[in-house]
Structure formats: C-alpha cells, structure tokens
Amino acid sequence: MPLIYCVEDDESIRELVSYAMRGQGYKVEGFGDSGEFYEAVQKDVPDLILLDIMLPGEDGLSILKKIRSAGPLQNVPVIMMTAKTTEFDIVQGLDLGADDYVTKPFGIMELLSRIRSVLRRTKKAPEAGRKLLTYSKISVDQEQHIVTVDGKEVKMSKRLGNATTINELCDSVGVDAARYFFVQRALDSHLDFDIELAKRQSNDNPVYYAQYAHARMCSIQKQAKDIELADSFEDLTDEKEIELMKTLQEFNKVIIESAKTRQVHKVCHYIQTLASKFHSFYNACKVIDRDNMKLSSQRLALVKATQIVLANALETVGVEAVESM
C-alpha cells in the first residue's frame, strides 16, 4: 500500500486531501511545515510527496531542491500544489524535479487521477478495481488482505484458524455479548474473542456481571415497593455507599469524554466499575431493613439511581439492561 506524505500548511486542505486518499486505499501522513516533514522521512521514506510551495519558514521549492540533490528521497516522485499559476512558477517547479503540478483550487478527482498517474510510472499505484471496504478510519483491502486504521497498516496474525461469521457468533453467544466484547476494546488494541467466556454465566463474563448487577437492582426495588424513596442521603456514610455515589457522579464525564474521543470502550470500563461498586455496596450494606426505614429509604434511592445510570450506560453500548436472570 503506497505511503504518501502531504506537506501543506492549510490544515483544512491537508485534512481533505488526506481523507480522500485514505478512502482510495493510500496510507497518508500530513505535515504543516518542513520541520515535521524532515523528521518523518528519517523514519519512513514515502512513495510519493504532495508538496505545497508557500509554506511557513522553508518554502516548497527549497524543500524540493534538497530532495532532488541527494539522499533517500532523491527518486521519490513529487507533485507540487500551489496557488501560483504563472508559467514561470510551473516551469520552475518542474525544472527543479517535480513530477507534476496542480494549482489551487483543484478538484479532488483531478488530484487523485494525477497521483495514480505518477504512481503508475513508478509501479506503486493501487490496482484498479480492487475491493476496498472503508468505515470511519478503518480500511480493509479484501484482495491484498491489508487492514489500515487512520492510514496506518495494522499487523494481522498469519496463523491458520477457523473463521466464524458475525451471524454465527451472535447465534452462539448472543447479540449482547458479541457487541459488548467488540466494543469493550480500543480500536488500536488486539482482540482475542473468547467465545467460551462470552457464554459463561459467571462474574468472569463482563456482560453477565453487568446485567446481573442491573437485574439485582430491579429485584431489590420489587421487594420494597411499599417503601418510599428518600430525597436526601445524609445517613449514607458507609465507605461503600460513598464510593458508589462518587462513581455515579463520573457518568456524565465518561460519556462526554467518550463522545469527544470516540473511545466507546471507556463506557464499558465504566460499566464494569459501576457494577463492581454496586456489588461491594450490596454485600456491605443491608438495603432493606424494616427496623430502620429511614436508612432503608435512602439506600433504596441510591439503588434506584444506580439502576438508572447502569441502564443508560448499557443502552449507550447497545446492550439490554435485563430486569431478571
């Protein structure tokens, strides 16, 4: 998969060009100035460089001159991008060693066509008509069996094994478990899907653990229908009660952070923490105490609040908040 470096100080243009190229199966790195670019080429030599002329500090023509003078980039194809449209500017760039030249504003389709044309001459263009699946920052080359995240190739295991379709997986472990096991891991982390664990009805299974906690909360409330819920918590001073209330306060922060960073696995981590704090509270504190109705009323209100938050968290990741098990 060809690696392309885009040196462009206008962030909006750089991001647009990078997004379009990733959608075509290229790996792309963007840089706003010469310093970032020179640092990157010390690690990886690209297959093609898109180079703006009017850059802060060292301009594109000076960079091109250095590229063509010597070193590992000497034979790397370069396409110049600039708002300068005079014949002199174009000729100057080509004479310094540019392989092609596009003027701003340019069409993305034209740029992609010029990239393919230049790469064909160096025999590094993606094969025409290949099957490429893309979703968000993830691209899967079905013919070359290459997976990239945000333009960077992800190393995949070459070990032989039995393939299982998503439908077969859902039939085996259930939709809730399948969805949760995928979502609970970060996109850039390796996933070993333990099918036997996903089936297991034990605390080792994170889905069962969370759903069981929610079912227990619902059961407690059913047992105490006659007790009115308190609207204050002044008597909840036990360490486990305080820890649970603090965890409840973190929910909004977790949701906002997960949405901003698109790291949904943080919600799953919160679900496990909340379920754990609730189980600890339940084991340490007697919720329904007919001899102390005031305390029971406050603890039941805490159970209700925890049940609502846990149900919302489970719904966020697409898992059912069951009321009985």
| Mean pLDDT along residues 55-84 | 85
Among 33-47, 113-127, 300-314, the least confident range: 113-127
Strands 48-52 and 78-82: parallel
Confidence of residue 140 (pLDDT cuts 50, 70, 90): confident
Give the per-residue pLDDT at 145. Answer: 62
pLDDT above 70 as % of the chain: 89
Q: Which residue has the higher pLDDT, 121 or 257?
A: 257
CATH level 3 topology of 177-316 = Isoleucyl-tRNA Synthetase; Domain 1 (1.10.730)
Give the per-residue pLDDT at 129. Answer: 46
Secondary structure of 195-229 in HEC code, one letter for each residue: HHHHHCCCCCCHHHHHHHHHHHHHHHHHHCCCCCC
Q: Confirm if 293 and 214 have CB atoms less than 8 A apart.
A: no
Residue closest to 181 by CA, chosen among 213, 204, 158? 204
The tokens describing 292, both together, are 């102390």
Q: Confirm if 42 and 21 have CB atoms less than 8 A apart.
A: no
- pLDDT tens profile 175-226: 888 888 888 888 777 777 788 888 888 888 999 999 999 999 999 999 998 9
Confidence of residue 244 (pLDDT cuts 50, 70, 90): very high
Angle between helical axes of 34-41 and 60-69 (0-180°, round to 10): 20
The tokens describing 306, both together, are 């925890």
The per-residue pLDDT of the chain, averaged, comes to 85
| Mean pLDDT along residues 158-167 | 62
Give the per-residue pLDDT at 79. Answer: 92
SS3 label, residue 28: strand
Q: Confirm if 3 and 72 have CB atoms less than 8 A apart.
A: no
Where do the structural domains in the chain lie, given as residue ranges? 3-153, 177-316
| Mean pLDDT along residues 26-55 | 89
Confidence of residue 135 (pLDDT cuts 50, 70, 90): low
The tokens describing 241, both together, are 């009660």
- CATH of the domain spanning 3-153, picked from 3.10.105.10, 3.40.50.2300, 3.30.70.20, 3.40.50.1820: 3.40.50.2300
Residue closest to 76 by CA, chosen among 34, 40, 48, 51? 48
Q: Is 172 exposed, middle or buried (0-12, 13-18, 19+ CB in 10 A)?
A: middle
The set of residues, in sequence order, having a beta carbon less than 8 Å from that of 119 and lying 6+ positions away, is 2, 47, 48, 77, 125
